[in-house]
Structure 1
C-alpha cells in the first residue's frame, strides 16, 4: 500500500474507531527518528553506605557508589542518567584483588571513558549507541583495570548511567513523553504487556537474622529469594548453603499467603555462578527434597560458573541465566543447555541490552524476571517499567522482580526523597506485590521527570 492510499484508508478507519488518523499513521508507519549528536558530557557520583556488610558471590560489600551521568545535545541539555556500581557483581575476581574503594574508582573511571566515547558517536536510538561504543569501552576497561579477562558485566555496569542518560536524551529529541513511546519498534512486542501486579522477590542474604525473615512473611512477602554460594571451598559452600536452607525452611514452612494457588510461599535461589559442578547443585537440591522445601522452589538463578556447559534441563526446577547472559549469543547458549528463563538486569547491564534479551526471550516463549543490584529508588522505577511490561511469569500470573535497597542502604529514607515519584502508590509493597495503576504507565513511574537532587550536582550551563 502506498502512502496516499494508507492515509486515505486510515481516515476511513478513524471515522469508525474514534481514533485520529495521525495516531493510526504513527503506529503503523516506520519510525522517523532524529540523528542525535552529543555535544557535552559530565559525571559525578555519591557514596552510599550499607546498613551491614552485604554478602553474595562469596564476598561482601559495605557501600555502593551511585554514578550520575549527564548528556547534552544542541537542542536539549541536562539529561541525567543514574547507575549503581557493584564491582562484586561485575567481576568478583577484580573485587577480591583490590580494595573496595579501588574497585569502585576503576568502574567510575570507565563510566567517564564511556561518556567521552559516546560524545564522538552520532546515533538514532540508545541501542545503536550502545552497540557502537561497546568495543571501545571494553578495550578501555581492560586498560583501566589491567585485567585482560575483565568480565563483561563490569563493563555493562559502568555503562548504565550513560545508557539511561542516552534514553532520556533520545526521548527529548523525538518528543517521546512515555516509556512506551520511546521503545524502539523491534522491541515493542516483547514489552507490550501491562501487568497490574509485580511480585516482589524478598532477598535473604547470608547473614540475615531469621527474625527479620519471619517479619517479612508476616508483612505479606511470599517470594523469598535465597542467596546461596557462601564463601569458602566448594565443600564448605555446600554445607553452609544446606544449613541456611534448613534454617530458612524451618522458619517459613508453616507461613501462608493468598497470592499462590496452594497458599505456600515460593522460594527462588540465587547462586551467582558459585557452583563449579552440576553434581554439587544436585546435592543441594537433594537436601531441599529431604527437608520438604523442593516443591516450593520456583527457579534458581545462574547456579553454575560461567564456563560450565553442563545440561541443566533435568535438575527438576527451572534454571535462569544471569551473569553468563552477556549478549544474545550468550542467552542462546544457555537456552540450548536447558536453561528455562532469562534474568533481565536493566539496572546492571543497561536497558539497551535488556531490550534485546527481552525480545529474544519473547520470540522463543521463554519467561523473564528482573533481578536487583541493590539500586537506588529512581533506578528501581526504571526496572519497574521493564518488569511491568514483560510477560507474566509462569505459575505466578504477574511480573517478577527483586528489590532490596530498603533493607540494605543506611540512608534509604533520604534517598527516597531524591525520586520525583517518591511516595507513589506503585512503589509501596502491599501483600508482597507492587500494584501498578493506570497512572504508573501514563507517568512511566516518574523516570522521565527531573530529580532536583541529581540536577544540582551539575552546573546549569
Structure 2
C-alpha cells in the first residue's frame, strides 16, 4: 500500500471512531526489508521466585523462568530477546503431569531447539521466521514432552524469546529506531493509534487477600481483573467463583474512581477456559446480577474450554477470545460464535502472531486489549507498545493492558534495574494508568535499547 492510500485509510478510521487526528500516527514508509540469515545462536535463563503461589487455570506457580535468546546474523548484527516461561498457561495438563521445574525444563529445551532450527531459515520479517518455524517446533515439542496433543500455546510460549530476538535483529539489520517503523507495512493500519493513557488491569489471583484488593482500589486501580475457574470439579469451581465474586464486590462496590464515566470500578473476569459449558457461565453471570456486580463487568476472557463451540452472543457481556486463538482461522471461528473482542499476547504467543490477530480484529472492527503472562519489566514495555497503538477499548477513552509482575515477583525491584529506561515515568502506574508522553513514543518505551544485564549473559560466549 502506498503512503497516499495509507493516509486516506487513516482518515477513514479517524472519522469512524471520532478520534483526534493527532492520535493517529503515520510512520514513514520504509524500504523493503533485507533478507536476514542467522549464523549464531545462544541461550540462557534465570529462575525468578514469586512472592506467593500464583493461582490460575486450576493450578499454582511458584516461580517463572526468564529465557534469554541471542540471534546473530551473517553481517554481525545481534538481537538479544527475552521470554517469560509459563507452562501452566501454555499447557495446564502438561503442567499437572510433571514437577514445576520439569515442565520448565521441557519448554527451555524447546526454545533451544527453535534457535538451532532458525539457523536454517532465511527471513525478511520475524513474522516470516515464526511462520516457517512453527510446524517444526510443534513437532519437536511433541517429541520433547512425549505429548501428542501438546497445546500450541506451549509452543508459542517457547518461541517468545526467539521471536523477541528476531524483532531486535530485524531492527538492527534495517536500521529501525522506533516501534512504529518496526511494524511491517501490512500491519500498520491496525496499530496506527497513539494512546495518551493505558488502563492497567489489576490482576486478582485466587489467593490474594481482600485487603490487598481494597488497597489497590485506594491506590487508583479501577480495572480489576478477577481470576476465576478455581480448582475442583465444575460444581466446586462455580461455587468458589461465585463466593469469590461476592467477597470482592462486597469489598469494592462503594469504591469511587475518576477514570470511568459513572465513577464505578470495572471488573473483568478471566476463567482461562475452565468452564466446560456455557450453562455454567450463565449461572455465574446470574449470580453477578443477584449481588449487583453484573453492570460493572466489562468483559469475560476466554470462559469456555477451547473445544467448546457454543454461541456466546446472548450472554449480555463482551466475551473475548484468548487461549483458543492459535492463528487467524481460530480467531474467525470465535467471531462466528459471537465473541466480541480479542486478547493480544505479544509476550505469550509472540508479537508476530499478535500483529496478525490485531490486523484481523481491525478489519472486523473488533476491539482488542493486551493481557499479561506475569512477565519481566522489559517485556511489559513490549506489550505496552502493542497496547499503546490499539484503538481505545469500548467504554474507556484509552487502551487497556494487564500487568502484574510487581505484585508477584519476589525480586521485582532488582528486575526493574535491567530495563534500559528504568525509572522512566511511563514505567510507573499513576492512578491506575500508564501515562504515555512524546518521549515514550520517541524511545518506544526503551525496548529497542540494549540491556546491560542481558548483554552480560553472553559476553563470554563468542
Deviation, structure 1 residue 210 = 0.6
Equivalent residue number for residue 372 of structure 2: 372
Which blocks of at least 5 consecutive residues in structure 2 are unaligned?
Answer: 3-25
Higher mean C-alpha displacement, 31-40 vs 243-252:
31-40
Conserved? CA contact 1:66–1:85, under 8 Å: yes
Q: Against the structure 1 CA distance between its residues 354 and 456, is the aligned structure 2 distance closer, same or farther, given a 3 Å change threshold?
A: same
Equivalent residue number for residue 70 of structure 1: 70
What CA distance in whole angstroms lies between the structure 1 residues aligned with 2:127 and 2:79? Answer: 17
Name the SS of the counterpart of 1:304 in structure 2: coil
Conserved? CA contact 1:76–1:172, under 8 Å: no
What CA distance in whole angstroms lies between the structure 2 residues aligned with 1:357 and 1:196? Answer: 23
Equivalent residue number for residue 47 of structure 1: 47
Taking the TM superposition and a 5 Å limit, the aligned residue runs for 1:88-107 are 88-107=88-107
Query: Do residues 414 (structure 1) and 419 (structure 2) align?
Result: no
Name the SS of the counterpart of 2:189 in structure 1: coil
Name the SS of the counterpart of 1:311 in structure 2: coil
Conserved? CA contact 1:344–1:354, under 8 Å: yes
What CA distance in whole angstroms lies between the structure 1 residues aligned with 2:428 and 2:228? Answer: 27
Equivalent residue number for residue 10 of structure 2: none
Q: TM-score, normalised by structure 1?
A: 0.94
Equivalent residue number for residue 308 of structure 1: 308
What CA distance in whole angstroms lies between the structure 2 residues aligned with 1:79 and 1:365? Answer: 34
Q: TM-score, normalised by structure 2?
A: 0.93
Equivalent residue number for residue 325 of structure 1: 325
Equivalent residue number for residue 254 of structure 1: 254
Conserved? CA contact 1:76–1:173, under 8 Å: no
Conserved? CA contact 1:203–1:404, under 8 Å: yes
Deviation, structure 1 residue 459 = 2.8
The CA deviation string for residues 421-459 of structure 1, in whole angstroms up to 9 with x for no partner, is 111101111110000011111001000111111111113
Name the SS of the counterpart of 2:206 in structure 1: coil
Name the SS of the counterpart of 2:235 in structure 1: helix
Name the SS of the counterpart of 2:401 in structure 1: strand
What CA distance in whole angstroms lies between the structure 2 residues aligned with 1:31 and 1:147? Answer: 43
What CA distance in whole angstroms lies between the structure 1 residues aligned with 2:33 and 2:420? Answer: 28
Equivalent residue number for residue 387 of structure 2: 387
Query: Do residues 139 (structure 1) and 139 (structure 2) align?
Result: yes
What CA distance in whole angstroms lies between the structure 1 residues aligned with 2:401 and 2:139? Answer: 32
What CA distance in whole angstroms lies between the structure 2 residues aligned with 1:237 and 1:189? Answer: 41
Equivalent residue number for residue 15 of structure 1: none
Deviation, structure 1 residue 76 = 3.3
What CA distance in whole angstroms lies between the structure 2 residues aligned with 1:119 and 1:313? Answer: 45
What CA distance in whole angstroms lies between the structure 1 residues aligned with 2:144 and 2:326? Answer: 20
Equivalent residue number for residue 296 of structure 2: 296
Deviation, structure 1 residue 27 = 4.2
Equivalent residue number for residue 425 of structure 1: 425
Deviation, structure 1 residue 196 = 0.3
Name the SS of the counterpart of 2:257 in structure 1: coil
Which blocks of at least 5 consecutive residues in structure 1 are unaligned?
Answer: 3-23
Name the SS of the counterpart of 1:117 in structure 2: helix
Equivalent residue number for residue 13 of structure 1: none
Conserved? CA contact 1:347–1:382, under 8 Å: yes
Taking the TM superposition and a 5 Å limit, the aligned residue runs for 1:177-188 are 177-188=177-188
Name the SS of the counterpart of 1:211 in structure 2: helix
What CA distance in whole angstroms lies between the structure 2 residues aligned with 1:35 and 1:259? Answer: 46
Conserved? CA contact 1:178–1:444, under 8 Å: yes
Conserved? CA contact 1:31–1:185, under 8 Å: no
Q: CA RMSD in A?
A: 1.2
Conserved? CA contact 1:257–1:263, under 8 Å: yes
What CA distance in whole angstroms lies between the structure 1 residues aligned with 2:375 and 2:388? Answer: 18
